[in-house]
Amino acid sequence: MKLFIDDSNTEAIAGLFELGIFSGISTNPSILKKSDRRPLEVVKEMLDRFAGALFVQCASSEYEDTIKEGVEIFKLAPERIKLKIPFSRTGIKALGEFGKLKIPVTITGIFSVPQVLMAAEAGADYVAPYASRMENLGIDLSVVESMQRVITNGAYSTKLIAASFKTLTQISKMAELPIYGISLPVAMYGEFFAHSGTLKAIDNFDADWQSIEDRKWVSI
């Protein structure tokens, strides 16, 4: 399963990205707004500083504008940019044109199995269901497994990346599924390291090591 970062704080991303396990970064207008910087400036810095895919969402809502905007965004780094477009009539229609232009597209804001079916049939390279928002609407996260089953049974090349998380329980449910990836904010990845059991074990290891009188060891 691929791990992506949903964030716009480039300094925070840098501290996490150095772990060397991430396949890229995902943004959207809401994420970029949190940076309190010019969106294009943030995107260009991410391309300069971090390897891997960079998912950038088109802000236009009209078809023609979306195509023009998407082409220009893609030109920033053709080998790395993956467009994002919300599920809509415009988004589904745009998939055909972007497919002709060989520009990869993620259909985002996914909440139902029929939406995945339509996006996959239209040629979406990725679909992104919103885990936390689904639960807020009373939708059980088991539906994500059904979404993946539609992709698998239909032999679509579409990849599913789950996004919008608020709890570790939601992440655990998604981690059990045969989906392509998950995308989380920096702070949520930080929670992986903050488990009380793990921290207690580390403290115990350190205390026991320090209590060994003759602890000559390898040179460091």
Domains in the chain, number: 1
Instruction: Name the residue among 132, 123, 50 with its Cα closest to residue 83.
Output: 123
Of 44, 68, 84, 166, which residue is the catalytic one?
Answer: 84
Instruction: Name the residue among 104, 90, 108 with its Cα closest to residue 164.
Output: 108
Instruction: Name the residue among 168, 184, 132, 188 with its Cα closest to residue 26.
Output: 184
Decide: 81 and 115 in contact? Cβ < 8 Å. no
Residue 189 lies in a domain: yes
The whole-angstrom separation of Cα 220 and Cα 185 is: 34
Helix (H, G, I), strand (E, B) or coil at 71: helix
Residue 90 lies in a domain: yes
User: Cα–chain-centroid distance for residue 114?
Assistant: 21
Residue 216 lies in a domain: no
Residue 218 lies in a domain: no
173 part of the active site:
no
Give the domain CATH number at 151: 3.20.20.70
What DSSP character marks residue 130? B
Residue 63: phi and psi, rounded to 5, are -55, -55
183: its two tokens:
């995308």
Residue 20 lies in a domain: yes
Domain that holds residue 91: 2-210
The whole-angstrom separation of Cα 49 and Cα 77 is: 13
Residue 58 lies in a domain: yes
Number of Cβ atoms within 10 Å of the Cβ of 219: 3
Residue 25: phi and psi, rounded to 5, are -130, 145
Residue 219 lies in a domain: no
The whole-angstrom separation of Cα 86 and Cα 119 is: 11
Q: Print pLDDT tens along the chain (220 aa).
A: 999 999 999 999 999 999 999 999 999 999 999 999 999 999 999 999 999 999 999 999 999 999 999 999 999 999 999 999 999 999 999 999 999 999 999 999 999 999 999 999 999 999 999 999 999 999 999 999 999 999 999 999 999 999 999 999 999 999 999 999 999 999 999 999 999 999 999 999 999 999 999 999 999 8
Helix (H, G, I), strand (E, B) or coil at 185: coil
